[in-house]
């Protein structure tokens, strides 16, 4: 992207609205060195952002559409976005304007080289779209009120265009504008035909419906197709890992018979709780290491013996891709969680969690101030009522005017025997280490507020006056 005029506009905007942003990515039509754009799309990342937000600002005769993302949540957002791939496309095609943390470069490289296979997502998206098209056609055959008929026809055309785009293995078009432009650019014949169908339908709905059905038949869209909205993968035995999810249910509310049953079948697992105000859906998660269908069947049997079906989802797929959360470090991090789960079980039963957290911090080579700031920025603005300046002022008040003696004290702490090479973690970027430690704390505690209290307590006791 060499359009200096666009860059000048962006720099002027940033100077006035967000001069401290750690990272800036330009995407959308303005990024293609084109004069034909409606607005300038920017994605901003910063550690001080507490949540994902979007805003539109008119500045110096230009419209800016801005997405603000906490820097530590980029991979969480990609994980949540796995099914739609909107953010994947933004990071993949966007141009880096600023990257102080070097994280945008890592994200782009990960998407191009290591992003998980999306064939299952595409497959189920096509099935869902075909089902929706047929649902609209069935409705249009009935006598409908004018407004309902108009909306149903528009929905049918929208799903039809989705189907055409999905044939190109694209899933990220969320706006009508981008769908229409893509269709005219890459499928001109289809765009012309759909325009003709719309014109015919406006003049005579019956003739328009016939034309639409003929076009659907020519595209090879079946007239009926079964569809389930749980997106379960058929090839369960090949995935290696399965997720069990209890929405809104605390770990301590899950009966002991279930835990005992899981331990009896001897399937490696780890479990954690996600609190509200996170990108991941709130509830209790179990991650199982399963390599055959018998293991999945055994887990199903234990679930059916202990819970009614409305309390859980198993296998739980696609809502949040756990693999993306830790990027290329996913396998290493997951093996760590499997290894420490027995220790976590013992700690939950017998206490002494602070000693274990201290041990993990030392072994993972994470700085106590980085951990504190991670939770500070994540939780300080949960009510979305503070400006960045107010957040920065609060953060300054929390800085310690003391010398850290954290490392010296940790040398004297208890050592846990874990069959895991912690030296591997030295190669992992800091933001992934923080996510890994956060997941470890989620295995111990139910609420983010407790994590903050624990980290604050640790931080405060490891400083001395200078």
pLDDT of amino acid 188: 96
Q: Is the pLDDT of residue 465 over 50?
A: no
Mean pLDDT, residues 130-145: 94
Whether the Cβ atoms of residue 131 and residue 156 lie closer than 8 Å to each other: no
Helices (H), 315-387: 322-325, 330-350, 353-364, 368-379
When comparing pLDDT for 2 and 290, which is higher? 290
Q: Is 341 helix (H, G, I), strand (E, B) or coil?
A: helix
18 pLDDT tier (thresholds 50, 70, 90) = confident
More confident residue, 47 or 462: 47
Question: Other C-beta atoms within 10 Å of 306: how many?
Answer: 17
Q: SS3 helix, strand, coil % of the chain, rounded to 5?
A: 55, 10, 30
Residues 398 and 392: their CA atoms lie apart, in Å, by 10
pLDDT tens profile 354-388 = 889 989 998 998 888 888 888 888 877 665 666 66
Closest alpha carbon to 40 in 23, 25, 53, 51: 25
How far is the C-alpha of 268 from the C-alpha of 287, rounded, in Å?
A: 8
Which residue is associated with the tokens 């470069």?
105
Mean pLDDT of 15-38: 83
What CA–CA distance (Å, rounded) separates 319 from 455? 30
Instruction: Specify which residues 218 forms β-bridges with.
Output: none
Is 273 strand, coil or helix? strand
The phi and psi torsions of 438 (rounded to 5 degrees) equal: -60, -40
Tally of helices (H runs) and strands (E runs) in the chain? 19, 10
More confident residue, 32 or 442: 442
Q: What is the mean pLDDT of residues 199-204?
A: 95
The pLDDT tens digits of the residues spanning 268-294 come to 999 999 988 788 888 999 999 887 778
**Greatest Cα pair distance in the chain:** 85
Range 196-200 average pLDDT:
96
Q: How many CB atoms lie within 10 A of CB 119?
A: 9
pLDDT at 405: 45
Residue 140 class from Cβ within 10 Å (0-12 exposed, 13-18 middle, 19+ buried)?
buried
Q: CA–CA separation, 222 vs 225, rounded Å?
A: 7
What does the pLDDT look like over 210-259, one tens digit per residue? 999 999 999 999 887 665 555 444 444 445 788 899 987 777 678 788 98
Closest by CA position to 270, among listed 288, 247, 250, 249: 288
Percent of the chain predicted with pLDDT > 90: 43
Q: How far apart are CA 379 and CA 381, in angstroms?
A: 6
Average pLDDT over residues 448-462: 84
pLDDT at 418: 92
Q: Which residue has the tokens 């409908």?
A: 144
The tens digit of pLDDT for each residue in 309-343 reads 888 888 886 567 778 899 889 999 999 999 999 99
Strand-pair category, 62-70 with 40-46: parallel
Query: What pLDDT shows up at residue 159?
Result: 95
Strands 23-27 and 40-46: antiparallel
Which string of DSSP letters, residue by residue, matches 90-147?
A: HHHH-EEEEETTSHHHHHHHHHHHTPPP-HHHHHHHHHHHHHHHHHHHHHHTS---HH
Is the omega angle on the peptide bond into residue 89 within 30 degrees of 0, that is, cis?
A: no
Cα 69 from Cα 50, distance rounded (Å): 8
Span 402-445, pLDDT tens digits: 455 445 544 556 678 899 999 999 888 888 999 999 999 999 98
Grouping H, G, I as helix, E, B as strand and the rest as coil, residue 252 is helix
Closest CA to 219 of 159, 176, 173: 159
Average the pLDDT over each of 34-38, 138-142, 197-201, 416-420 and give the range with the smallest value: 34-38
Q: How many CA atoms lie within 13 A of 440 on its CB side?
A: 27
Q: Strand 283-289's sheet: what is its strand order?
A: 241-247, 283-289, 269-274
For residues 410 and 42, the model is more confident at: 42
- For residues 308 and 301, give the distance between their C-alpha atoms in angstroms, rounded to a whole number: 12
Enumerate residues 6+ apart whose C-beta is below 8 A from 70: 45, 46, 47, 49, 50, 51, 52, 377, 378
Task: Rank 2-11, 44-53, 243-252, 336-345 by mean pLDDT and report only the highest.
Answer: 336-345
Residue with tokens 């301590």: 252
Nearest-angstrom CA–CA distance, 36 and 38: 7
Under 8 Å CB-to-CB from 37, ≥6 apart: which residues?
A: 28, 29, 30
Q: Are strands 62-70 and 403-404 parallel, antiparallel or unpaired?
A: unpaired
| pLDDT tens-digit readout, 148-158 | 999 999 999 99
How many Cβ atoms are within 10 Å of 433's Cβ, its own excluded? 22
Q: How much is the pLDDT for 463?
A: 60
Residue with the bigger pLDDT between 174 and 382: it is 174
Task: Give percent above pLDDT 70 in the chain.
Answer: 85
Higher-confidence residue of 389 and 315: namely 315
Pick from 245, 258, 271: which is nearest to 298 by CA? 258
Question: Which token pair is 198?
Answer: 């719309």
When the pLDDT of each residue in the chain is averaged and rounded to a whole number, the result is 85
């Amino acid at each position: 992207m060499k359009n200096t005029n666009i860059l000048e506009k962006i720099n002027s905007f940033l100077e006035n609205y967000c001069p401290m942003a750690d990272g800036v990515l330009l995407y959308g039509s303005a990024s293609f060195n084109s004069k034909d754009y409606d607005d300038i799309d920017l994605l901003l990342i910063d550690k001080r952002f507490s949540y994902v937000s979007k805003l539109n600002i008119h500045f110096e005769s230009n419209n800016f559409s801005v997405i603000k993302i906490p820097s530590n949540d980029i991979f969480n957002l990609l994980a949540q976005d796995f099914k739609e791939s909107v953010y994947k496309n933004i990071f993949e095609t966007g141009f880096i304007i600023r990257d102080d943390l070097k994280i945008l470069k890592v994200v782009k490289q990960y998407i191009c080289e290591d992003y998980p296979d999306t064939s299952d997502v595409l497959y189920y998206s096509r099935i869902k779209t075909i089902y929706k098209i047929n649902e609209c056609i069935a409705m249009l055959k009935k006598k409908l009120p004018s407004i309902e008929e108009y909306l149903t026809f528009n929905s049918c055309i929208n799903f039809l265009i989705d189907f055409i785009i999905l044939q190109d293995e694209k899933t990220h078009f969320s706006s009508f504008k981008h769908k229409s432009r893509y269709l005219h650019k890459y499928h001109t014949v289809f765009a012309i035909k759909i325009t003709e169908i719309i014109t015919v339908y406006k003049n005579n709905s019956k003739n328009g419906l016939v034309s639409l059905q003929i076009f659907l038949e020519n595209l090879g869209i079946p007239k009926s197709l079964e569809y389930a909205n749980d997106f379960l993968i058929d090839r369960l035995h090949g995935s290696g890992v399965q997720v069990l999810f209890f929405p809104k249910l605390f770990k301590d509310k899950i009966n002991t018979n279930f835990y005992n049953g899981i331990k009896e079948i001897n399937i490696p697992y780890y479990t954690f709780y996600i609190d509200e105000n996170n990108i991941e859906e709130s509830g209790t998660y179990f991650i199982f290491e399963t390599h055959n269908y018998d293991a999945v069947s055994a887990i199903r049997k234990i679930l059916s013996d202990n819970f009614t079906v409305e309390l859980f989802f198993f296998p739980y797929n696609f809502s949040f891709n756990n693999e993306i959360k830790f990027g290329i470090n996913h396998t290493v991090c997951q093996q760590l969680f499997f290894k420490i789960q027995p220790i976590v079980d013992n700690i939950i039963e017998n206490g002494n969690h602070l000693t274990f957290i201290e041990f993990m911090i030392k072994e993972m080579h994470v700085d106590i101030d980085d951990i504190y700031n991670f939770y500070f920025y994540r939780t300080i603005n949960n009510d979305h009522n503070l400006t960045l300046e107010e957040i920065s002022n609060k953060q300054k008040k929390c800085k310690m005017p003391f010398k850290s003696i954290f490392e010296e004290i940790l040398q004297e702490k208890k050592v846990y025997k874990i069959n895991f090479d912690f030296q591997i973690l030295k190669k992992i970027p800091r933001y992934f280490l923080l996510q890994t430690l956060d997941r470890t704390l989620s295995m111990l505690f139910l609420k983010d507020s407790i994590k903050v209290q624990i980290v604050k307590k640790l931080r405060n006791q490891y400083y001395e006056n200078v």
